[in-house]
Structure 1
Amino acid sequence: MAVNAVEVEEGRVVQLGLIGLGKMGGNMAERLRRAGHEIVGYDRAPGKRDVESLPALVEALAEPRVVWVMVPSGEPTKATVKELAGLLAPGDVIIDGGNSKYTDDQVHDVMCREKGIGYIDCGVSGGVWGLENGYALMVGGTKEDVAKAQPIFDALKPPAPVDESGQEIPGAGYVHAGPVGAGHFSKMVHNGIEYALMQAYGEGYELLAAVDLIEDVPGVIASWTQGTVIRSWLLDLLVRALQEDPALERISGYAEDSGEGRWTVEQAIENAVPMPTIAASLFARFSSRQEDSPTMKAVAALRNQFGGHAVRAVQAQEAERPA
């Protein structure tokens, strides 16, 4: 028998519909179940889902319903939210926990409000480690809608850290950032910063590896993880990657971007906020996809034209490439 999603007294199970049971969504469902919540999951893959369709998921939940959408951003999310808005009832709440652009949230909110349905956007960080460590959550929505989903957020977020006296430090790992759109805007900026941090670590790694003076590059990187001002979880993950592949020989230097770095730079331009580091890290990813940079071809040609500097013929470059 389905339970009421907002009956959250001690000892009560909280119910959630979860759409998208991939790496993130599947782990989130498992973390919530471990916390005692009832999860009704739907995924396009038959082996993962509890119900066969979105109508069946809605039917399985008691009113007022809370449904979390965890599918790829863009058209998949738009289509899912639109279908849900046609199935849910006034008082129900939709949460978009994917990497949607904040402007999409504002459009979805208007559509849902017209039907009396609440809408929350939630930026989620934690990746595949979130199952055990918890997820950092950045939430946008009304206080009333967020309160309906608060037990879910409380179960997903990391355990509260404690200060030297043993008191919990409030706010760590979770924030109600503002109205609809604020959650994904916060996550967008978070990911822009992430781009820049990864680029800085990568450049430091390359310089260490480029000189004969440093005999233990992975050891130097690992030494930075304790007692230094640049220690971070990302640095820990770089150490892990170097333990598995010390020279990173099994990895191509091609780096995709999920879109949020681009959106961050767009907002920097729109708001006249100087953001050279994040912008440079985004452009570096674009450079990683070029086998031979047209820009640098032009630079080489110009150096040859004004100074007579030597240029390498394409045939010579191809001959030098390893098979």
Structure 2
Amino acid sequence: MQLGLVGLGRMGGNMRERLRAAGHEVVGFDRDPALSDVASLTELAEKLQAPRAVWVMVPAGVTDATIDTLAESLGDGDIVIDGGNSRFSDDAPRAERLATRGIGYLDVGVSGGVWGRQNGYGLMVGGSDEHVARLMPIFSALKPAGEFGFVHAGPVGAGHYAKMVHNGIEYGLMHAYAEGYELLTASELVTDVPGVVKAWRDGTVVQSWLLDLLDRALEADPELTELSGWTEDTGEGRWTVDEGVRLAVPLHVISAALFARFASRQDDSPAMKAVSALRQQFGGHAVHKR
């Protein structure tokens, strides 16, 4: 197939190379001329044969502006695919705007990070059966080999919804490993914490790709001394918790992991200062002063 690809960063650039290795023709555009195959979105559209398909891999904050600009150069029968981490509620309005021009729309949750080029990408797709079927050669090239790694999750919005929940689960898994790591480092008994993590990688019920990555990080920096505890969040965890509230689904672990990320950004927590002050006031407990 022929595909336009907008956004050639860590994810998009590797996707382009994986698709080309599978025999597909990819015309890429990026704001960085050193990465781009064309000079503009208009030129990208001109390089593609109708009916065209263009995959957008840009940050959520500029997705709508990028798609609206791109749509000016597309027409009836073309398809736009958003593979970024957009909020699922943005998908239906986006699809409706494109439909007025006869342009189809698919939303795709993409997982795999910087390892996707080698291992393949997990794909969660939202949209019509017709549009999904048309893009299956692209999806088949991007997904891992074998029967897993791809789902047509439902109509427009379902792909990003599935990816949102995926990332919420990721928050919880990562934090469970992190808490276990901290407890191991605090123990008087365990003298080889990296070795324990490495041992868990095979034959245990907690083995996973995330654990493999923790082991890799510890090999490079056994005590993680080169890293700060500051941990950003990119929105999906918040959206997952919002949906838990909306649907009255208890999300204890995911919520706690999200709030732990917020706590990581406080050098000296005002809340914990208040707790310390209250303990001193009602019980005369000792306080630690700066």
**Into which bin does the TM-score normalised by the smaller protein fall?**
over 0.9
Correspondence for 2:11: 24
What residue number does 1:180 align with?
Answer: 156
Q: Structure 1 stretches of 5 or more lacking a match?
A: 1-13, 161-169, 315-323
Q: In 2, Cα distance between the equivalents of 1:233 and 1:72?
A: 25
How far apart are residue 150 of structure 1 and its match?
Answer: 0.9
SS at match of 1:228: coil
Secondary structure of the structure 2 residue equivalent to 1:199: helix
Tell me which structure has the larger Cα radius of gyration.
1
Unaligned runs of 5+ in 2: none
Distance, in Å, in 2 between the alignment partners of 1:277 and 1:87 is 45
The aligned residue for residue 44 of structure 1 is 31
Deviating 4+ runs (over 3 angstroms): none
| Residue of structure 1 in register with 2:41 after alignment | 54
- Tell me the alpha carbon deviations over residues 101-147 of structure 1, each in whole angstroms, 9 at most, x when there is no partner: 00111110110111110000000000000001000000000011111
Q: Does 2:242 match 1:256?
A: no
Partner-residue secondary structure (3-state), 1:98: coil
Q: Deviations over 1:234-281 (max 9, x none)?
A: 000000000000000001011000100000000000000000100000
Q: Map of 1:186-205 to 2, 5 A cutoff? A: 186-205=162-181
1:236 to 2:212 alignment: yes
Deviation by residue 1:132-190 (Cα, 9 ceiling, x = unmatched): 10000000000111112111000000000xxxxxxxxx3x1000000000000000000
Give the C-alpha shift of residue 212 in structure 1. Answer: 2.0
User: Take 1:187 and 1:109, find their aligned partners in 2: how far apart are those partners?
Assistant: 18
What pairs with 1:1-323 in structure 2 (closer than 5 Å)?
14-74=1-61, 76-160=62-146, 170=147, 172-314=148-290
| TM-score (structure 2 length as normaliser) | 0.99
Residues in 1 aligned to 2:73 and 2:33: alpha-carbon distance in whole angstroms: 21
Q: Give the aligned length.
A: 290
Taking the aligned partners of 1:213 and 1:106, their CA distance within structure 2 comes to 55
Q: What amino acid sits opposite 2:145 in the alignment? A: P
Per-residue CA deviation, residues 61-107 of structure 1 (Å, 9 max, x unaligned), is: 00000000000012x10101111222211110000000000011111
- 1:321 alignment partner in structure 2: none
- Inter-partner Cα distance in structure 1 for 2:34 and 2:144: 29
SS of 1:87's equivalent in the other structure is coil
* Whole-Å separation in 1 of the counterparts to 2:92 and 2:220: 43
**Identity, % of aligned positions:** 63
Quick one: which amino acid aligns to residue 31 of structure 1? R
